[in-house]
Amino acid sequence: MTAGELPREVVLTDANLLRGGKLTDHKQLKIGARIARSGQPMAASGDLQSAEVVVDVPASEPVELVIDQVVP
């Protein structure tokens, strides 16, 4: 996804977990959003990102992430 495709609604599934497993294996998840200039998954200087939010599983309502921070 590119910055031009934002805002966008995203639904998390088991396929989105970075460390494998299932969403239901966890009571809470820490989620965030990043626009990486390099396209790499690790944060780098100049990337734009949201604050991370802890979400209960299953979530009772949608979570809004605002990408308003620059990685130093």
Record the pTM.
Answer: 0.77
Structure tokens at 66: 């605002």
Per-residue pLDDT of the chain (72 residues; tens, 9 = 90+): 777 888 888 888 888 777 778 888 889 989 999 999 888 989 999 999 999 999 998 888 899 999 999 999
Cα–Cα distance for residue pair 51/19, rounded to 1 Å: 20
Report how many domains make up the chain.
1
Range of the domain at 30: 3-70
Cα–Cα distance for residue pair 31/49, rounded to 1 Å: 11
